Structure 1
Amino acid sequence: MKRHAGAVLSSIKIDKAAGKKRSIQLYMALRDLLLTGALTPGDRLPATRTLAQEIGVSRTTVIDAVDRLTSEGLLEARVGSGTYVSEALTARLAPKPAANSNDVAQVAPRLSHASKHAIPDFTPRARLPHKSQAFVTALPALDAFPMGQWAKLSARHWRKTRDEITSYGEAFGYAPLRQAIARQLNASRGIKCDPGQIFITNGAQRAFSLVGGLLVNPGEPIWFENPGAIGARNAFVAIGANPVAVDVDGEGLCVEDGLSKAPHFRLAFVTPSHQQPMGCVMSLPRRLALLKAANEADAMIVEDDYDGEFYYGDQPPPTLKSIDTHGRVIYVGTFSKSLFPALRLGFVLVPDGLVESFARVCQTWLSGVPTVTQAIVAEFMDEGMFATHIRTMRQLYKERYEILMRESASLAGDIDMQATSSGFHTLGLLSNSLDEEKLVAKSAEHGITTVPLSRYTLRSLPQRGLVLGFGSAAADEIRKGIQTLKTILPACRAS
């Protein structure tokens, strides 16, 4: 195996018209890089021939400069290996002076009007979960993902021609993946659509930003579930939208409440298949009422179906998109929950009337998802592996949910777990005797993750609770987590 070529030193400039010898100029430039820490002890310099070509001087000039630095102990030559920055340089590097606000005028950069208004309104978000444990939300069962199958598909695609895997991808997304998604939506979600209506995005969050930027003017009202999905809300706040907190009950978003607060809304954002974070499924009457309200207000609806594949009740209700007869619903999906979050792969299905606008945006400035990633997912779907995985996960989540509900019966009266029939999180409502913040903090001290319901609210609610994920936790972890909650409850009473 060839050794790496060493640091790229293209910042060095030699003035060939200057009176100073080129070897001296190169010596001083290299010395400056060494003493300021731009090159650190142990870094390998390029070969003298390579460096001479990069900066446009003779090899003799480079050898003279390097030899001088070596004699000073700043560089060291290793036989058969190359020239390296001396480890002894560590002691000679001067510490960087602390910045002094009195020495440099501190100028606050001007923010755009949209940013200035949006940043204070952003709901704080903790780092997205990266460790599978009780009771992390938003993480699927990574322990059950068929990594062997995925690795084989990945290896197959990485052996394709370089043009196929390294060049710019298709603007709207990889065509076979768009076709596979269209087939999947038809078969499993009852949505009849054309692949031309589907656009691949860097996750669902990017889709929300794209929709908001195309459809909502600054200050226009959008209905937003309260409590509701934080990331999506921040995406719409970022483009200057005015989110209107609409109540949620056991049937989903309360359409009448939305009409009373903002009858001339521009957009409605909903999670009907598994409300985020309450866990309820929007009833069919509510779905029809929402479609009617949007049609009368000439508004659009964003249906976030983030974990809609994982319905384990008796009969899944239809998606909003499948019963939309007026082209009002924009359907957003993601592979973060059905496969794994690191893919950063989502898609948006738009009505025919928006296809041209979305296509123009994708062609002109929207960045795409790596083609090889899309190709692997497309084949994963076409080979039937995706459908098999969904069936397996649906059963697994049902089992883990049942364990959670069974074990949490011992918490009744303090934490009342709410029933759900989809996804891999649910809500535990707290009694008045418990302090929500204390319980969250104490849980973290004992190695379990809980999220307060208040984090999801635009407007404060009378209820207090914990949003508990059960998808990424094994059965024993769920049991231990419930026992931990039971143990710490006495220390979390409201004062």
Structure 2
Amino acid sequence: MKRHAGALLSSIRIDKSSDRRISVQLYMGLRELLLSGGVTPGERLPATRTLASELGVSRTTVIDAVERLISEGLLVSRVGAGTYVSPALAAQKPLSMTPVGNPARMAEPRLSHAAIHAVPDFGPRSRLPHQSKAFITALPALDDFPMAQWAKLSARHWRKERDHVTGYGEPFGYAPLRSAIARQLNASRGIKCDPHQIFITNGAQRAFSLVGGMLVNPGEPIWFENPGAIGARNAFVAIGAMPVPVAVDDEGLCVDDGLKKAPHFRLAFVTPSHQQPLGHVMSLSRRLALLKAANDADAMIVEDDYDGEFYYGDQPPPTLKSIDTQGRVIYVGTFSKSLFPSLRLGFILAPEGLVEGFERICKAWLSGVPTVTQAIVADFMDEGMFATHVRAMRQLYRERHDVLIAEAEKLAGLLDVQQTQSGFHAVGLLNRRLDEQVLVEKAAHAGIAISGLSKYELQSKNLNGLVLGFGSTPPDEIRKGINVLHKIL
């Protein structure tokens, strides 16, 4: 492989009509670029012949300018290796690039309503988890992912035709992956569907934005679980929807509360298989009531099945989609939990009545998810690796859950941690004398990550508790984390 040609310096402008010599212009241009931090200390410059060709000047002119900069110590020459930006410039504060002028006269760009009110409208949300520690939520067991198998599949596809791996993705999604997902939903979640109903998206949150943008006009009400999933809530707020906080109890979404607050709702968002964050499974009576309410209001339902693969009981919790006979449920899934978050891969299962609408909007302005990523996941599923991985993770999460519940007995009376039947987070209810926010802050200082239940509220319900993730945390770290939390409590 040929050695790279060095930094691109095409920002340097040479004015051949100027009275100033070209070598001086080049010298001053290079010098300003070096001192302003436009090139990195230690970075190699192009060969003098290459630079002369790119700038349209003679090689002698380039050599003259480069030698002056070497004599000043801004560049260093290495025999047989080329010319490099001096490492000494790493300690040099770059020259200010702020335009000269009266600050009072500088234009202040007008921001959108969404940008101005982002924090109060969207609610608090820090960076999504990226590093494992107790008790971080939403992060799977990345250390147990079969990376060697993944690497082999990846290499297989990167060796294929360039069009397969480097072009724009198909707007609806890679056909073999759509078929693999349809088979998986039928086999594991009891949902009978056709591949043409599956639309691949850049993660679940992109799916929520797509659904909201297609079905909801700004200001229209949507039922939203309170407390509920933050990412989904923000996706709907961003498209101008008006979330209506609907209470949640042990049976799931309280349909009567929703009807009382917004009987003419446009959309309802629910997590029936494992309510986010409380962990309840929606009862059959509530499911039927929700489907009836949606039918009466001519509304649609978004079912977020974010961790439905990871159940601990004899039978997985049923999906709402599996009992939908009127085509009211839009099912959204993600590979962030079952595989890993940085895939940014989700999907929509659309009712037949919405397939044409999704096709129209995807064709109009979606370029699709990278084909190679989808192809790797399709092979991972078709060759049985996905099912094997899910089975292994299901067992691993159950073991970590059991460790958490056993260790949490030390916290009885202060924090009562509730058992869960699926997923990889549990909820702990705090003694009313304890301040949730203070505990979250003190835990962060102690090196453990806990989330307060109030963070998930759209409207205050006076919840006082913590959400404890255990998916990415080995048993020993869970035990250490509980000991730290015990001291804080």
TM-score w.r.t. the length of structure 2 is 0.94
Aligned positions of 1:389-404 closer than 5 A: 389-404=389-404
Give the equivalent residue in structure 2 for 1:232: 232
Q: Please say if residues 252 and 283 of structure 2, whose CA atoms lie closer than 8 Å, have aligned partners that are also in contact.
A: yes
Structure 1 contact 52–62 (Cα < 8 Å) conserved: yes
CA contact (8 A) 2:268 2:302 kept: yes
Q: Which residue of 2 aligns with 1:210?
A: 210
Equivalent residues of 2:308, 2:422 under 8 A apart: yes
SS at match of 2:392: helix
Question: Who is 2:442 aligned against?
Answer: 442
Unpaired segments ≥5 residues, structure 2: none
Deviation at residue 67 of structure 1 after TM alignment:
3.1
Aligned to 2:152: 152
Per the alignment, residue 290 of structure 1 pairs with 290
2:5 maps to which residue? 5
Amino acid corresponding to residue 488 of structure 2 in structure 1: I
Matched, 1:362 2:359: no
Measured in 1, the distance between the counterparts of 2:70 and 2:444 equals 54
Q: 1:352 to 1:2 in 2, by over 3 A?
A: same
Amino acid at match of 2:127: R
Partner of 1:65: 65
- 1:254 partner letter: C
SS in 2 for 1:10: coil
Q: Is the 8 A contact 2:169 2:370 kept in 1?
A: yes
Q: Which residue of structure 2 aligns with residue 112 of structure 1?
A: 112
The aligned runs of 1:460-479 (5 Å cut-off) are: 460-479=460-479
CA distance in 2, matches of 1:230, 1:311: 22
Residue 3 of structure 1 deviates from its aligned partner by 2.9
- SS, match of residue 301 in structure 1: strand
Deviations 1:303-359 (A, max 9, x none): 000001112223334211111111111111000000111111111111122222212
CA contact (8 A) 2:169 2:367 kept: no
Q: Which residue of 2 aligns with 1:493?
A: none
**Corresponding residue for 2:178?**
178
Q: Which structure 2 residues correspond to residues 315-394 of structure 1 after superposition, within 5 A?
A: 315-394=315-394
**Alpha carbons of 1:104 and 1:83: their partners in 2 closer, same or farther (altered >3 Å)?**
farther
8 Å contact from structure 2 (residues 454, 462) kept in 1:
no
**What does the per-residue CA deviation read over 1:159-180, in whole Å, with 9 as the maximum and x for residues that have no partner?**
2222211111211111111110
**Separation in structure 2 between the aligned mates of residue 31 and residue 355 of structure 1, nearest angstrom:** 59
Q: Is residue 311–residue 317 contact of structure 2 (8 Å, CA) maintained in 1?
A: no
Structure 2 Cα separation of the partners of residues 441 and 89 of structure 1: 40
Tell me the CA shift for residue 143 of structure 1.
2.2
- More divergent stretch after superposition (305-314 vs 94-103): 94-103
Deviation, 1:218, is: 0.9
Q: Please list the CA deviations of residues 108-140 of structure 1 after superposition, one character each: whole Å capped at 9, or x if unmatched.
A: 321234544555311111211122222111011
Q: 1:322 to 1:419 in 2, by over 3 A?
A: same
> Secondary structure at 1:263's aligned position in 2?
coil
- Please list, as runs of the form range in 1=range in 2, the aligned pairs for 1:2-81 lying within 5 A after superposition: 2-81=2-81
Q: For the residues of structure 1 that align with 2:318 and 2:88, how far apart are their CA atoms?
A: 70
Ranges in structure 1 where 5+ consecutive residues have no aligned partner: 490-495
| CA displacement 1:30-71 (0-9 Å, x = unmatched) | 232223332344232101121122222333332233234334
* 2:185 partner letter: L
1:381-421 CA-partner distances (Å, limit 9, x unpaired): 00001011111111221222122222222322221122321
| Map of 1:189 onto structure 2 | 189
1:34–1:396: structure 2 CA closer, same or farther, 3 Å change rule? closer
| Separation in structure 1 between the aligned mates of residue 380 and residue 460 of structure 2, nearest angstrom | 43
CA contact (8 A) 1:283 1:317 kept: no
CA distance in 2 between partners of 1:343 and 1:301 (Å): 26
Q: Is the 8 A contact 1:119 1:238 kept in 2?
A: no
- The 8 Å contact of residues 135 and 468 in structure 1, kept in 2 or not, is answered as yes
Displacement, 1:210?
A: 0.9
- Taking the aligned partners of 2:173 and 2:60, their CA distance within structure 1 comes to 52
Whichever residue aligns with residue 392 of structure 2, its letter is T
Contact kept, 8 Å, 1:47 with 1:82, in 2: the verdict is: yes
The equivalent residue for 2:457 is 457
Query: Which is worse superposed, 50-59 or 259-268?
Result: 50-59
- C-alpha RMSD of the superposition: 2.2
Displacement of 1:85 after TM fit?
Answer: 2.5
Judged with a 3 Å threshold, the aligned counterparts in structure 2 of structure 1 residues 189 and 29 are, in CA distance, closer, same or farther, namely: same
In 2, the alpha carbon distance for the partners of 1:412 and 1:39 equals: 58
The 3 A distance-change label for structure 1 pair 278 and 24 is: same
> Which deviates the most, 162-171 or 300-309?
162-171
Task: Report the Cα offset of residue 474 of structure 1.
Answer: 1.2
Contact 1:267 1:302 in 2 (8 A): yes
CA 1:182–1:40: 2 relative to 1, 3 Å: closer
Q: How many residues align?
A: 489
Alpha-carbon distance between aligned partners in 2 of 1:389 and 1:87, rounded to the nearest angstrom:
47
2: CA distance, partners of 1:338 / 1:454:
27
Give 3-state SS (helix, strand or coil) of 1:248's partner: strand
Query: Mean Cα displacement is larger for which, 303-312 or 146-155?
Result: 146-155
Deviation, structure 1 residue 102: 5.9
Report the equivalent of 1:85. Answer: 85
Alpha-carbon spacing, 1:333–1:241, altered in 2? closer, same or farther (3 Å)? same
More displaced stretch, 74-83 vs 451-460: 74-83
Q: Given residue 396 of structure 1, which amino acid in structure 2 is its aligned partner?
A: L
Amino acid of the residue matched to residue 49 of structure 1?
R
